[in-house]
Structure 1
Amino acid sequence: MATDLSRLFTVDGRLAVVVGGASGLGRASAAGLAAHGAEVVIADKDLAGAESTATELGARARSLDVGSAEDIARAAEAEAEAEILVVTPGINVRKRLADTTDEEFDRVIDVNLRGTFRLIREFGTRMHERGRGSIIVFSSFRAQFVEPGQGVYAATKAGVAQLARAAAAEFGPGGVRVNAVAPGPFETPLTEQIKDDPEWYSAYADKTALRRWGKPEEIVGTVLYLASDAGSYVTGGLHYVEGGWTAIDGRFEPRL
């Protein structure tokens, strides 16, 4: 039977769990999936924020701390029919390596890398058993391009990209696709420190080809593509959404 191309980007009736969906890029991702027909669960440590977002989107909310193996296992069991998993949580400690404590290192690793690993493992295993599913984890353009003060964060996001590739290889035979999204400078709570510094904020905008920061809703197209049948032959990829930063980073414009 021929594919109905008009419905490639729909996710009607599919259960989508969006971890970190209370705010930022997670909230935008949840809104996009809900708008295209998914049954969405907003899973977040901030339960009040998750409930507020869920009410607005006509979704469900659940408390989930990505630092807790027990929370993740319970969520995966409760939402065992999930066909879409989006993992967005991330924290950053912007310090030079020499100034970063072991405790700060562990905290970033625990949320960004260990939490993502546990979510892939628990949800991916169940998807593999059912023979279908799409997992979308959030890496960062910092997985490739780093600057002073971003070392630990960058290391975790590079690790997330590699976890996605490994999971794509291991779960692929069971019909499960796994991809990583690499956002650039987006207006989210995670970037408040940068936005509060006008020089820093402007420098980041100037590093992109579009000469501006991204808006949260501009992540939706990539998430929907990877979650839906439009991306049915796409797995193991790192998908940049960074306004052209990687195309021009470090560019010098001579007088011509």
Structure 2
Amino acid sequence: MDDNKLFSVSGNTALVIGAASGIGLAISRLYSALGGNVMMADYDINRLSGEAKKLIGENKKVEFMPVDIRSGESIHDLVERTEKKFGKIDAGFITPGINIRKKFLDYADDEFQTVINLNLKGNFMAMREIAKSMIGKNVAGSIVVLSSIRSIVVEPGQSAYAATKAGLVQLVRGLCSEVGKNNIRVNAIAPGVVDTPLTQQIKKDPDWYRAYSERSALNRWASVDEIAGPAVFLTMPAASFIDGTVIFVDGGWTAIDGRFEPKL
């Protein structure tokens, strides 16, 4: 393999679902900056339009389209339009997630279903449609989903969210086992605490924010760019033998106890 192409996405096309903000937007910006084509998709069309037009204004090969990840038909239309615009999908990034923080015994059935429908079913349908496209176009592609440190560690109020993030890991492994023969790789990124719209509730509480900062080995939160980098890396030739796994991008959160530093 040409060493100059190991870390390249130039000329390839990424479909980024959840691209209007947070990690999805950071992935879109990075992939575009590296010379790739990007189809940006999100439920929030107003915010998506504004962010996409910024990239388009830089003469980047960027397109955007609304999508409801809870709808199989909406995802199918998105994939079809991406194919028509760019010919194929080389990389699929699926970032949407919702978290209703509530004690297990207080969780209502409909609240649990809301989290399951978006985080698990929605991601499943998106993974399925992107993989079908890659197989249909004979693309050696890469699919990246967002799990979380909550797939292996949990705290009060996160049971439903954690269950979906653990479930995503098994979806990654299951799809990986079936499409590897088509030279399609499927992986997950598991972030720790990241400064995104999803974590604004924590940021508003100084004690909570500080406790999360001190919990990781690096004693701080991650920026969205620090998650986008590893995610895009997984779609590069340099990552061509990474498949069916989870990369924790958590500042050491899951590696250390972190709550008390004993006097040694």
- Normalised TM-score (structure 1): 0.96
- 1:78 corresponds to which of 73, 78, 81: 81
Q: Which amino acid aligns with 1:56?
A: K
Structure 1, 52-61 or 138-147: larger mean CA deviation? 52-61
Which residue in 2 is equivalent to 1:164?
Answer: 172
- 1:150 aligned partner: 158
Distance 1:249 1:24 in 2: 28
**Residues 52-105 of structure 1 deviation map (CA, whole Å, 9 limit, x = unaligned):** 121122221100011111101111222231111000000000001111101100
Runs (5+) with no aligned partner, structure 1: none
The 3-state SS of whatever aligns with 1:9 is coil
Q: Which moved more, 1:49-58 or 1:190-199?
A: 49-58
Helix, strand or coil for the counterpart of 1:79?
A: helix
Distance 2:156 2:257 in 1: 15
Report matched runs for 1:78-97 at 5 Å. Answer: 78-80=81-83, 81-97=88-104
SS of structure 2 residue aligned to 1:161? helix
Alignment match, 2:59:
none
Q: Distance in 1 between matches of 2:106 and 2:257?
A: 27
* 1:198-237 alignment, distance < 5 Å: 198-237=206-245
Looking at structure 1, the residues matched to 175 and 262 of structure 2 have their Cα atoms a distance apart, in angstroms, of: 44
Q: Contact conserved, 2:44 with 2:66, CA < 8 A, in 1?
A: yes
Identity of aligned residues (%): 45
Match of 1:103 among 110, 128, 139: 110
CA distance in 2, matches of 1:238, 1:128: 23
The answer for unaligned runs of 5 or more in structure 2 is 57-61
Query: After the TM superposition, which parts of structure 1 deviate over 4 Å for at least 4 consecutive aligned residues?
Result: none
Task: Give the alignment of 1:29-178 within 5 angstroms.
Answer: 29-58=27-56, 59-80=62-83, 81-129=88-136, 130-178=138-186
Other structure's SS at 1:163 match: helix
Q: CA deviation at 1:128?
A: 2.1
Partner of 1:247 in structure 2? 255
Which deviates further from its counterpart, 37-46 or 241-250? 241-250
- State whether residues 216 and 258 of structure 2, in contact with CA within 8 Å, keep that contact through their aligned partners in structure 1: no
Q: Give the distance between the partners of 2:118 and 2:213, measured in 1 at CA.
A: 27
Cα RMSD between the aligned structures?
1.1
Kindly state the Cα deviation for residue 9 of structure 1 after the two structures are TM-superposed: 1.3
- Measured in 1, the distance between the counterparts of 2:8 and 2:51 equals 21
Give me the TM-score of the superposition, normalised by structure 2.
0.94
Cα distance between partner residues in 2 of 1:12 and 1:172 = 23
Q: How many residues align?
A: 254
The 2-side partners of 1:250 and 1:158 are apart by: 22
